[in-house]
Amino acid sequence: MSNNLIVERERSLVELERRIAELREASAAQPLDMSSEIAALEEKYQLILRELFGTLSPWEKVHMARHPNRPTSLDYIARFDRFDELHGDRHFRDDPSIVGGLGTLRARNVMILGQQRGRDTKENLHRNFGMPAPEGYRKATRLARLASRLQLPIVTFVDTKGADPGISSEEHAQSEAIAMCLQAFSTATVPIVATIVGEGGSGGALALAIADFVIMLEHSTYSVASPEGCAAILWSDASKAEEAAAHLKLTADDLYRFGIVDQILPEPLGGAHRNARDVVTRTLDAVEAALSPLAALTPEMLLDHRYRKYRRLGEWQAEGLEPVRTAR
Amino acid sequence: MWTKCPKCGEVLYRRDLAANLFVCTRCDYHFRMKAYDRIASIVDGEFTELGADVLPGDPLDWSDRRSYPAKLKSDRERSGLSESVVCGLGSLGGRRIALGVMDFHFRGGTMGQVTGERITLLLEEARREHVPCIIFAASGGARMEEGMLALMQLAKTTAAVSRFMAEGNFYVVVLTDPTSGGVSASFAFQADVIVAESKAMIGFAGRRVIEQTIRQRLPDQFQTAEFLLEKGAIDMVVERADLKGTLVRLLEYAAHE
C-alpha cells in the first residue's frame, strides 16, 4: 500500500502494461501479425493515461511532486559532466539532506546544491526525508560563499517538504542557519539558477531558491508551508491538507503568474518519472540557457537585478481600498 | 479597566499595568505588548510613521471559513492596526533611529506582503539616512493567506537587510514573545546584535509541530529566550524594564562620530 495518490492510480495501469508487453512478446515469437491488436491496446493505454493524469488538481500535484520515482537532485547531478561532492558545515556534522559540491555543466564550472530525499525508507532515514537540519543550511552557506570567491555560478535543485522541525535543529538554531543561507544567496556575486524539481516547502526550500532565474517542473509544487502544515496552522487539523492545497496557489502556473517562477518545464503525461532521462536533459538544457546571459553581467549588475527582482514581489492596496497595485 | 494576569491570576488595574510596561506587578509575567504601546515605551518623543498608507490586499482571493478580507477587517478592528508591523523614525537616547515593531495581535504577527514591504521601506530609509535600525519581532511566521507572495517577503527583507548592513550600519533585533517561522528565519536572525525579552518563546518550528513530529511533550523551558542564550543563538536576555536602557547603551557603541 502506498499513501501516494499517483502511485495508487498507476496500479490500474499495471494490468494493461502487462498485457501490452505480453502481446508484444507473443507477436515477436510467432508469424501472426498482431500489430493492430497492439495498436488498439496502446491507444486504450494512452486514453487511460490522459484520463488519469491529463489534468491534475493541486492536491494531485502535491502527490506527483512526492512520487517515490520522481527524479531527485542526485538524478540531475549525475548528469553533469563532473561532480566533486564537498561535505560538512565545518562546525558539527555533514547533513546528507543537502548535497553540494563543485561540478561541470557542459564545460562550465559551477557550484551545485540540492536538497535530497530518499526513495525508500532506509534512504529516507539517512536523508531525513529531505528535511535539512541547520548543518545542511550552514554547508549551503559555506558553499555559496565559496562560489562567490571562485566566481562559479550556483545551480540549485529544490526538493524538500521543509526544514527539519526537530529538537536538535532548534538547539542548533535552525532559524539562524536559514537566515544566513538566505543572506548568502541574496549577496552572492555570481549568477544563481534554481530549479524546483519536486516539492518546495516553505523557508526551508527558499533557502536554496533565491535566484536570478527560477525554473519549475510542471508538476512540482512550491508553497509557503506544506499543505499539511498550512492546515495545521489555520485549522489545527493536518488532515485538511487537500483543502489547504486548493487554497495555497502552489502550482507552477500560479507561481509563473505571480512572477515568482520564470520558466515552467513541461513533463511527460503522467509525470517526470515516466521519462526521467528526457526530463533531466531538458532541465539541464534550461539551466544552461538561463546561465548564459547571466554570465555576461557584472557582479554589481547581478546584485542590482536580484534586488529589484525580489523588491517587486508584493501587492497591496492604498488607503481607501483603491484597486490593488504592484510595488515599484 | 481590569486585566487578569494569565500566569498568576492577579487582577491588575490597566493603568498600573501600563505604567509597569505591561509586566505583572505580582509575578513578573510579560504581557504581549501592542505596537504603539511598545513604540511609546522606546522612543523619546515623536515618531514619524513610514509605509502606513501601504495596506494589505487579497492576492490569492483566499476564503476558507471566512474570507481573507473579512479576517483582515476584524483584526484591524480588534487591534487598531492596519498590518502586523508599525514602522517609522524617531529618536532613542537622543539618537535618530529607524524602528519597526511587530504586533502579535494582528494575524498572529504573521508576515504578509505589506509586512515585508513596510520593513523593507524602513531598512531602505535607514540606509539612506545612515541611522541604526531596531526591529521588535513578534510573529507566527509567514502568512498562509498570502501564500508564496508572503514567503517571498523573506527574500525581500533579507535583501534589504544585506544592503543596509553592507554599508556599516548597525542593526539590532529584539525578539519578543513569540517569534517563530519565516520571521525568525529571515530578518530577525540576521541582526548584528540579537536581544530577547525575558521568557519569550523563540524558535523556528512551533512547539505543537515539534511535539507532533517527535510524539512527546517538550520541556517547559525549551525555546525560551533563556534556552536560546544558553545554546548560543542570541546575545542577551533582558527584562522589559531594562530594555530601553540596554538599547541606548548599544547604540552608543555604533556612534561613528
Q: What are the phi and psi torsion angles at A134 (to 5°)?
A: -55, -35
Q: Strand B47-50 and strand B85-92: pairing? A: antiparallel
Distances in Å between the Cα of A47 and the Cα atoms of A15, A16, A217 are 15, 12, 23
**Whose grid coordinates read 564550472?**
A109
Chain B hits for A170, Cβ within 8 Å: 203-205, 210, 222-223
Contact of B150 with chain A, judged by CB distance below 8 Å, is answered with yes
Size of interface A-B (CB pairs under 8 A): 194
Q: How far is A174 from chain B (nearest CA, A)?
A: 6
Contact of B147 with chain A, judged by CB distance below 8 Å, is answered with yes
Inter-chain residue contact B144 with A186, CB threshold 8 Å: no
The answer to whether A306 and B158 have CB atoms below 8 angstroms apart is no
**CB within 8 A of A325, min separation 6: which ones?**
A315, A316, A317, A318
Distances in Å between the Cα of A30 and the Cα atoms of A18, A26, A39, A258, B28 are 19, 6, 17, 57, 90
Inter-chain residue contact B152 with A313, CB threshold 8 Å: yes
Give the single-character DSSP code of A218: T
- Number of continuous H segments (helices) and E segments (strands) in chain B: 9, 10
Q: Strand A221-223 and strand A192-201: pairing? A: parallel
Residue type, B167: E
CA distance B233 to B229: 6
Confidence of residue A110 (pLDDT cuts 50, 70, 90): very high
Inter-chain residue contact B148 with A319, CB threshold 8 Å: no
Q: CA torsion sign, A277 to A283 to A286 to A291?
A: negative
Inter-chain residue contact A187 with B60, CB threshold 8 Å: no
What sections of B34-112 are H helices per DSSP? Answer: 35-42, 68-79
The answer to whether B156 and B116 have CB atoms below 8 angstroms apart is yes
Question: Percent of chain A beyond pLDDT 70?
Answer: 95
Element (H, E) at A158: strand A154-160
Domain regions of chain A by residue span: 5-54, 63-312
Read off the pLDDT of residues B194-220 as tens digits, 9 standing for 90 and up.
999 999 999 999 888 888 778 888 888
Closest CA to A38 of A52, A51, A28, A48: A28
Higher-scoring residue by pLDDT: A315, A200: A200
As given in the structure block, the three cell numbers for residue A71 are 527524479
**CB within 8 A of B203, min separation 6: which ones?**
A170, A174, A175, B179, B180, B184, B210, B223
Of A166, A172, A224, the CB nearest to B148: A224
> For position A24, what pLDDT does the model report?
84
Q: How far is A223 from chain B (nearest CA, A)?
A: 5
Chain B residue closest in CA terms to A223: B148
Of A173, A180, A311, the CB nearest to B156: A311
Is residue B233 pLDDT above 90, yes or no? Answer: yes
The answer to whether B186 and A179 have CB atoms below 8 angstroms apart is yes
Chain A hits for B54, Cβ within 8 Å: 316, 318
Is residue A325 pLDDT above 50, yes or no? Answer: no
Question: Is the preceding omega at residue A31 within 30 degrees of 0, hence cis?
Answer: no
* Angle at which helices B240-253 and B35-42 cross, to 10°: 60
Using CB atoms within 10 Å of the CB of residue A78, give its burial: 0 to 12 exposed, 13 to 18 middle, 19+ buried. Answer: exposed
Interface test with B, best of A137, A148, A186 (most B CBs within 10 A): A186
Chain A hits for B55, Cβ within 8 Å: 316-319, 321
DSSP E strands in B93-233: the ranges are 95-102, 133-139, 171-179, 193-197
CATH class of the domain comprising A63-312: alpha beta
Q: What value, to the nearest 5°, has the Cα angle with vertex B175 and ends B56 and B39? A: 65
CA distance B30 to A287: 51
Contact of B159 with chain A, judged by CB distance below 8 Å, is answered with yes
The answer to whether A102 and A86 have CB atoms below 8 angstroms apart is yes
- Number of continuous H segments (helices) and E segments (strands) in chain A: 14, 10
Read off the pLDDT of residues A63-82 as tens digits, 9 standing for 90 and up.
999 999 999 999 999 999 99
Q: How far is B114 from chain A (nearest CA, A)?
A: 7
Read off the pLDDT of residues A231-282 as tens digits, 9 standing for 90 and up.
999 998 889 999 999 999 999 999 999 999 999 999 999 999 999 999 999 9
Read off the pLDDT of residues A21-78 as tens digits, 9 standing for 90 and up.
888 888 888 777 778 888 888 898 899 999 999 999 999 999 999 999 999 999 999 9
CA distance B179 to B173: 11
**Domains of chain B by range and CATH?**
1-31 (no CATH), 33-253 (3.90.226.10)
Chain B hits for A167, Cβ within 8 Å: 210, 214, 218, 222
Q: How far is B23 from chain A (nearest CA, A)?
A: 28
Q: Strand A315-318 and strand A325-326: pairing? A: antiparallel
Residue type, A43: E
**Whose grid coordinates read 561535505?**
A87
As given in the structure block, the three cell numbers for residue A300 are 554589481
> For position A21, what pLDDT does the model report?
87
3-state SS class at A19: helix
